[in-house]
A and B are shown apart, each in its own frame.
Chain A
């Protein structure tokens, strides 16, 4: 039986209640550490922290609109070999989905892991968050979650949610072991805690939480959020297709790309230790550039920009979870998330695959069936 319970919120302070919840979890004997987003003591920036000491959870803040990196990469780093104990990781839904992709690609394991998924309220771009947080981390977070949970769009002081978050149709981590629910909950007095797997249930059973029924309004509230996000997403797909549907438009779209490959570094599912684009394969002989230039009289330097982006799409688009870290990392503000998500939507649909949905579904390019896709074979 799944457990649906609550934790109480005192003096409307959700953050303090969440900190208490994570302390309770760390107190459970089998849990050796928790991985949680936390304000760093030296600066207000929120980063994933691995905590083993109950007294080091005072800065925990999973609701801050800060998303400096996709922590799936961190969890993969922590679980690629046995760690010597179980950890609980508090992640955004897109981080869990990216981690699922990594597990399927043999880059991590769920064996010694409890995934805690928090209803995602979205985040600002990195630069915007630094401006937003200023001196007081907690106060800024409270201002943010009150805005979102009252049904507004997160626009505060001229700052807006990152486009990836506006277009995200997964605000709820439906594949986490334990769910922390905020949408459709009276968060002034309580937060919803739900187990979604046996692992989650085992852990919650040790916490002695008071059980409740899920408020009926929650499903409707979540459905509302998703509906708005899907509308934004579909509009984004349409407008992105319009400006990239030929090679000429694509080259204009990517014209300010300097081949820094930051989008690949920031991508949680681009897991190759050495990308072919940084190997000697692309360290061309100098005379070759001259030959290329001679063909049309001009080449743009550095070369292989469109080649890189389309090849990367061939490699990762079936695993793209739409977290938007690529756009966060682009030094020249190219809307790469919009492009990658638009392409991914179609490739994932073609294989009836949804990145991060389930650990049971094989990545499309890792399997085949003998009878399939007859339409791609033949010349008639």
Chain B
């Protein structure tokens, strides 16, 4: 049987995690191609509906990643994001989405190495969880 290759949608903030991804790239570090980066200006603009949509469309995992606390370019967007992730982690498991499929991390602009490591680890973990329930079933 073919090995399961998860699809992971990652919303990354322009100022920290995207910059870290860029640094990882220019440093010629590699990370699994399962992660699809979506650059947003701040984790504070990730509306819960983006996450819900990603899961319903069959994403096996969703990552939101931004600046460390205190480093937000917009002062406190990452704190707002944390509350929204907390909320989603209460709602989504009630419909059978393992809360481990939704992750929030802080990866700073200079953390290129950590970025590659965390993506690797995340993919390993999501692989272990198996495919998401929305992937094959009909969603109304």
Q: Which residues of A contact B (CB under 8 A)?
A: 241, 244-251, 254-255, 257, 276, 296, 298-300, 303, 305-307, 310-311, 313-315, 317-318, 342-343, 346-347, 350-351, 364-365, 368-370, 372-373, 376-380
Contacts and interface: CB of A to CB of B under 8 A. Distances in A.
B95 A310 contact: yes
A298 B138 CA distance: 8
Contact of A314 (B48, B97, B104): B48
Given A247-B97, A314-B48, 17 more contacts: A245-B94, A246-B133, A300-B138, A311-B49, A315-B48, A317-B91, A346-B91, A346-B94, A347-B91, A350-B86, A365-B87, A369-B79, A373-B83, A376-B82, A378-B103, A378-B104, A379-B118
B82 A373 contact: yes
A300 B91 contact: no
15 contacts: A246-B133, A247-B133, A249-B96, A298-B138, A300-B138, A305-B140, A307-B52, A307-B56, A310-B92, A370-B69, A373-B82, A373-B86, A376-B82, A378-B103, A379-B121
B106 interface: yes
A368 B75 CA distance: 12
Given A276-B49, A307-B56, A376 B85 contact: yes
Contacts of B85: 376
Contacts of A254: 140
A248 B87 contact: no
Interface of B: 48-49, 52-53, 56, 69-70, 76, 79-80, 82-92, 94-97, 103-106, 118, 121-122, 125, 133-134, 136-140
Given A311-B52, A350-B86, A365-B84, A306 B94 contact: no
Contacts of B136: 296
4 interchain residue pairs of minimum CB distance = A246-B96, A314-B48, A368-B79, A300-B140
A338 to B, nearest CB: 13
Given A247-B133, A247-B137, A379-B122, A365 B83 contact: yes
A164 to B, nearest CB: 19
Contacts of A343: 91, 94
A374 to B, nearest CB: 9
B134 A379 contact: no
A247 B139 contact: yes
B69 A310 contact: no
Contacts of B48: 311, 314-315
A269 B73 CA distance: 32
Contacts of B91: 310, 313-314, 317, 343, 346-347
A343 B94 CA distance: 7
A53 B127 CA distance: 70
A314 B87 contact: yes
B87 A250 contact: no
Contacts of A241: 94
A248 B137 contact: yes
B49 A251 contact: no
Contact of A377 (B49, B53, B76, B104): B104
A299 B58 CA distance: 14
Contacts of A311: 48-49, 52
A306 B140 contact: yes
Contacts of A365: 83-84, 87
Nearest to A378: B105
Contacts of B118: 379
A311 B138 CA distance: 18
A347 B88 CA distance: 9
B137 A307 contact: no
Contacts of A296: 136, 138
A306 B82 contact: no
B137 A350 contact: no
B53 A307 contact: yes
B35 to A, nearest CB: 12
Contact of A246 (B95, B104, B125, B138): B95
B95, B103, B104: most-surrounded residue (chain A CB, <10 A): B95
A306 B106 contact: no
